[in-house]
Structure formats: C-alpha cells, structure tokens
Structure 1
Amino acid sequence: MHDSFECRLRWLVRLTLVGTLFTAVVMLVGAWTRLVDAGLGCPDWPGCYGKLLVPDSDLATLRHPDVPLDSFKAWVEMVHRYIATLLGLVVISVVALGWPLRHRRDYPWRQSLMLLVVILLQGAFGAFTVTLKLWPQVVTLHLLGGLSVLLLFFWLYLRLRLVVTPKPKNVSHCASSWWGVAACLLVLQLALGGWVSSNYAGIACQGFPTCNDQWLPAMDISEGFHLTQTVGPNYLHGQLHADARTAIQVMHRLGALLLGVVLVALWWRYRHWQSVASPLAIVVGLYALQAALGVANVVLWLPLWLALLHTAGAIALAAGFVWAWWRWRYQAAGVYSKTIDSPYNNVIAQ
C-alpha cells in the first residue's frame, strides 16, 4: 500500500508540472486569439455556430446571418477552446489521483479542490467572454483566472515535491510586509496589463518614456477606469476614446515603475539569504526583461510576436515570484541553508 501511495504521489508531481506548463501554453494561445482579433470568431459558446467543429459558410449563415464566418478566426477560437478543455481534464485527473490521499496530513487536498473550483470559474469566464462580446471586465478576469490556474498548479507541484522528498515540516508563518506589498503590486500590475489589452490601449501612447511627446499627456482617468461600462456593445477593438486609453497606458507604466522599485528593494532586503537571493535575482531579471519588452511593444507598434513574448514574460514573472516566495517561506523555517556568510546571519526576515 505504501508503494502504491508513493507511485501515485510521483505521478501527481509529474502531472502538476505538466499542468503548469500546459496552462502557460493555453494562456499564450488565448493571447494569440485576442491579438489576431479572433475572440469573437465564434459568436456562440461552447460550439461554433452551433457545431463542435467550424462549419461551412452556408451553415454558419443560417445559424447567425448577422455574423459572417471567418474560417481562420473561427478555427483559432475553437483551438483555444479545445486545449482549454484538455486543461480542464488535467485538473480533474489531479483531483481524481489525489482522492485516495485526501486524508493524509501532508497532502495538499484543499489546494487541489481550489484548483478545480478555479478552473470551473475560468471556464465560465471563457463563456462570458464570448456571450458578453469581449466586455473588458470579463476579459481581464479571464486573464487573471488563467494566471491563478497556472500558479495553483505550480504551488501544488512544489508542495507535492516536498511530500515525495520529505524535509522538516516546520513552515514559517511569520508575516512579511515586504512580500505582501510586492505580491499586491504584482497582482495589480498584471490586472493593469489585462486592462490595457482588453481595452486595446497597448499603443495609446506613442514613444517612450514620454507619451505622445508629453510627460503629462491628456488623460481621462475616470473613463479609462470606469468599471461599470455598459454590457452589450461589441468591445472588439475597444469602445474607449483616446484620452481614456492614454490614461490606462500611463497607469500601466507607472505601476511597472513602482513594481520594479519594490522588487529591487525586496532583493536587497534578502540578498544575504542564500536560497532566496538567487530566485529574487532571477525575478528582478525577469522584471527587467518584461519592462524592455513593454517598451519595445510601444516603440515597434505592438507586433504580434513581441506582444506574445510580453504575455510570456508576465507568466514567467508571476511564476518566478511564487518560486522565490516559496524558498523564503521554507528557508525562514530552517528547511534551507539560511544565509550567506554575512553580518546578517542571525536575522530572521520580517
């Protein structure tokens, strides 16, 4: 029986790693779908013009005469749905494999159930994205939901590795305002990035570091962040006027600057913690790369491949931050070697 449990755990480790990587693929395909304006390639859900496969133009016209079929965009949208469905099956497999282990004290059963709940909500947001015609609020939540799925998969992978290869079970639960502030700013910046994308504000500002040759351009912040926009219009290509989109882009830039300062400060604070300094250095490096990609997107007018790299950078930055926080959490508990030889050897981070 023990060998059976160990085998099951090892399969779960592999499956959660696959789930993490596959979620990244699904998110990138979703970004590609949005960037090629295929989000409404199929006007209904879950099928496409009432079919599980993209139909011919005659059948599509009979089903939705007001929405002409674009076969390329319809197939792009359906491929995204197909692979998202496969991701849901991976989540169900994780829950099913973990069912016999649910009573083990060291098994993260609640996180598995949380992953299942989030993937179901993500499916609902996918449906609302189509039925509400790319309403920016739903599109942004759909992006954050995808990141939540990825990070839950990644967290499960780290937890399960700890179960398979036992280490001291004491875990630091001490509060840390540094990590909390950084995490909040990262979530806010990811949400701002989704808001930029869903409102088509990626090139609202021409030039960098100025915006439209001005340090303080005309902005309509109240309209740009008006979260009770009317549900119903087709939001493909956006509905906001130029000053509102400029406000979104400028806030995204300021958020990126603030996040960078906090991440560098976080690295500086823990630079003598041997197992945390390296992950945080990687996070700072990923942030710098992501910032460079953002600037390049503006300067080069948002080419498709570069916009996809910017999405991939956001995914990598979020995962890197979670990994660094994981190392800090267990290092503070004495699981990892605590510090580099330094004057701070006896400091416990707060």
Structure 2
Amino acid sequence: MKSRLLIGCAILLAFTVILMGAYTRLSNAGLSCPDWPKCYDHLTVPTQTQLLQNTHRLFLGDVLQPEKAWLEMIHRYLAGSLSLLILAILIQSLTKRITPRLLTWGLVAVVVFQALLGMWTVTMKLMPIVVMSHLLGGYCVISLLWLIHLNSIKRNEAMEHCSAVVIQRHAALGLFTLVIQIILGGWTSTNYAALACTSLPICQGNWINHLDFTQAFSPLQGLHKSYEFGVLSSDARMTIHICHRIWAMVTSCVLGSLAFRLLSQQVYTIKKSGYWLLGFLCLQISLGVMNVLFQLPIGIAVAHNAGALMLLLCMLYINFHVWRQGGQHEQ
C-alpha cells in the first residue's frame, strides 16, 4: 500500500475510533465489559448462557448488557485495527524513509500509552483523569497522523507564502486556546457535567455563589467503587460546565478573528483555509447550543466531538503551512 494511502486510511480510522469512543461513553457503555482486552474473558461478547457456564466465578454479580458490551468491543476492535495500521506506517518509515521518523516514533509511543489508558479506563472504573487522558490520547494520535500526512505533501501542494508574522502568532494562539477548550470539554464529559447548566448563555440561577474550583478541577477524587455517572457535587459540575462555556466564548473570538484575518488575505489558499475555519467554528457553536437546548441528545453530542476534531485538524493545517512557509521565506 502506498504511504500516503496508508496514512489516509489511518486518519479516517482514527477519526472513527474517536467518535466510536465518544458514542460508547455517551451511551454509558464504558464498563459493559469489566475486563480488558477481552469481554467477560471472551474475545467477543458472550451470551448469558456462556457467562453463567464459564465465567460466573470471575464476574460474580455482574449483569451482562449485550448491546452496550458490543459497543465497547467494536471500539476495541477498531482501535486494534488502527494500531496495526500505525505499525505498518512505522515499518514503511524504517524501510523506505518516506515519513518523518521522529513523528512516527512519537506516534507509536502515544499508541502504546493509549492502550494502557484503555486498560486503566476499565480497571479503574472510569476514573475521570484516566478517561480524559484516554480521550486526549486519541486526539494526539490523529494529530500526529495528520502532521505526518502534511509532511508527505509535495511543496507545490502546500499553502502559498504568508508574509504577515502576526498571522503566525495568531494561528499559534488559536491552536493553544482550542487545545485548552478540548481539555475542558473532555473534563466536562468525563465528570458528567454536560447538563449541569440548562440555560444560556451562562447558567441558571445565582451561579456565581456556587462556584467550587477546588473540587471541580482536582485530578484525584478519592477512591470509589465506580466513577460512572460522576462523583462530584452539583456545584463542582456546574463550575466545570461554566468554565467550558466561558472558554468557548474566548476560543470563538480568537478563532473567529483568525478566520476573518485569513479571509482578508489575497492568496486564495490562505483565504480558503479561513472559510473552512469559519465554517467549522459556526458548526461547533451551533452544536454546543443544541446540546444545551435539547438536553444532550447522543447524536448531537457525538457530532460535537466530531466538530472539535475538525477544528483541531483545521488549526493544525493552518499552523503547519503558515509557519513552514514563513520559515521558507526567512531562508
């Protein structure tokens, strides 16, 4: 398989894995298989009869939910397939020297750590810091694959020169604010705080007097039998949600102003990236509002995850080309 085709397939599969993980999490199926990497000590989801016959001693008291268990196992199958594709990319990098070795080895290291996080997500019963790290690890995987893809593009396919240093700095700032927003979004999701505020634009009632930053952003939340459905107080969850929402406004201003700055450029390729950024930003804001108005329907919530991914890839594309072209110009 050609290198660029292989990388493209890996990017699409990574995108699918992340969204499947989001769907599994939002379906409350994260603990449907209490062991890892098998499910009730089976390579596929067992039937109730198999569970009673073969594994009742290991999983005494557990209730098998086949539909949710299959969601979890399909996610694992997809993640395993992605790991094999990344292994193939590594082999090509070592034999043909087509892809940047540093990025490729970094990708492999992240994937190995991701596998450990996937195991800990189950064994630590959805501990928020572990689940969020697993989520961010998925974003790191697709980001590294995207950067490897961008490095494989020929120079004549790259974005044309952007002379304004201010755009470079604005693009870097935009990427930074977006990453913080993704982290806040992950923390909101893993602590089941998405519905802590049910009004717009901020929160209902006298929310200022209920802020609890100490508990809200403590990485350690004590020892619990399970962290499913969250263990934080309502005030702590509201604090997380409000921070995510306020920072969304900051991110929207930074990315929106960057998009209009790109649209003001004369070079078509730069202007086109501004259109993409503005489109993804408007879509993501709309999805966020709909999540609140319609009480987090699973389809919109998964689409909100996809919107964050598209914004991240768009910002990586802009930063990669703006800084690379700026560096070429200085030389």
Q: Same fold (TM over 0.5)?
A: yes
Q: Normalised by the size of structure 1, how large is the TM-score?
A: 0.85
User: Quick one: which of 124, 139, 142 aligns to 1:150?
Assistant: 142
> Aligned residue for 2:265?
272
SS of equivalent to 1:74? helix
Q: Which amino acid aligns with 2:321?
A: R
Structure 1 residues 217, 297: CA separation in 2 closer, same or farther (over 3 Å shift)?
Answer: farther
- Contact 1:293-1:306 within 8 A present in 2 as well: yes
Matched, 1:17 2:8: yes
Quote how far apart the aligned CAs of 1:269 are. 4.0
Q: Retained in 2: the 8 A contact 1:132–1:231?
A: no
In the TM superposition, what whole-angstrom CA distance separates every residue of 1:183-232 from its partner, at most 9, and x where no partner exists? 22111100011001100111100111141245746222211111122244
1:159 aligns with 2:154: no
Q: Where is the helix percentage greater, Structure 1 or Structure 2?
A: 2
SS in 2 for 1:62: coil
Structure 1 gap segments, 5+ residues each: 1-7, 336-347
Partner of 2:58: 63
Match of 1:307 in 2: 301
Stretches of structure 2 that go unaligned for 5 or more consecutive residues are: none
Quote the residue 1:340 is aligned against: none
The Cα of 1:48 is off from its aligned counterpart by 1.0
Secondary structure at the aligned position of 2:284 is classed as helix
Mapping 1:256-271, distance limit 5 Å: 256-270=248-262, 271=264
Question: Is 2:20 aligned against 1:26?
Answer: no
- Asked if the contact 1:60/1:68 (under 8 Å) is kept, the reply is no
Equivalence for 2:312: 318
Aligned residue in 1 for 2:108: 116
Q: RMSD of the alignment, in Å?
A: 2.5
Greater CA deviation, 250-259 or 217-226? 217-226
Shift of 1:60: 4.2
CA distance in 2, matches of 1:120, 1:99: 18
Cα pair 1:280 1:321 within 8 Å, conserved: no
C-alpha separation between the residues in 2 aligned to 1:166 and 1:294?
A: 34
Once the two structures are superposed, what CA deviation does each residue of 1:142-180 show, in whole Å capped at 9, x if it has no partner? 1111011111111111111227x7889x999x8943233
Q: How does 1:74-153 map to 2 (within 5 A)?
A: 74-102=69-97, 107-153=99-145
Aligned partner of residue 61 in structure 1, secondary structure: coil
For the residue of structure 2 that corresponds to 1:228, the secondary structure is coil
Match of 1:53 in 2: 44
Flag the 1:86–1:237 CA change in 2: closer, same or farther, 3 A: same
Q: 1:224 to 1:67 in 2, by over 3 A?
A: same
Distance in 1, matches of 2:207 and 2:219, equals 26
**Are 2:183 and 1:191 aligned?**
yes
Q: Is the 8 A contact 1:286 1:316 kept in 2?
A: yes
CA distance in 2, matches of 1:276, 1:325: 11
Give the CA deviation at 1:236: 0.7
State the AA in 2 paired with 1:88.
Answer: S
TM-score (ref. length: structure 2): 0.90
User: How do 1:28-47 and structure 2 match up within 5 A?
Assistant: 28-47=19-38
Give the distance between the partners of 1:195 and 1:54, measured in 2 at CA: 29
1:234 aligned onto 2:226: yes
What is the deviation of 1:247? 0.4
Aligned position for 1:287: 281
SS in 1 for 2:42: coil
Pairs within 5 Å for 1:154-233: 154-162=146-154, 176-213=168-205, 216=208, 218-233=210-225
Q: Is the 8 Å Cα contact of residues 175 and 312 (structure 2) preserved in structure 1? A: no
Identity %: 33
Counterpart code for 2:239: A
CA distance in 1, matches of 2:212, 2:14: 35
The alpha carbon displacement at 1:264 in A equals: 2.3
Aligned equivalent of 1:72: 67
Question: Which amino acid counterpart does residue 291 of structure 2 have in structure 1?
Answer: N
Relative to 1, partners in 2 of residues 1:64 and 1:318: Cα closer, same or farther, differing over 3 Å? same
Rounded Cα–Cα distance in structure 1 between residues aligned with 2:204 and 2:6: 48
Structure-2 residue corresponding to 1:327:
321
Residues 103-137 of structure 1: per-residue CA shift (max 9 Å, x gap): x7xx4111111111111111111111101110110
Contact 1:283–1:317 (8 Å) recurs in 2: yes
Alignment partners' CA distance in 2, 1:37 and 1:166 = 43
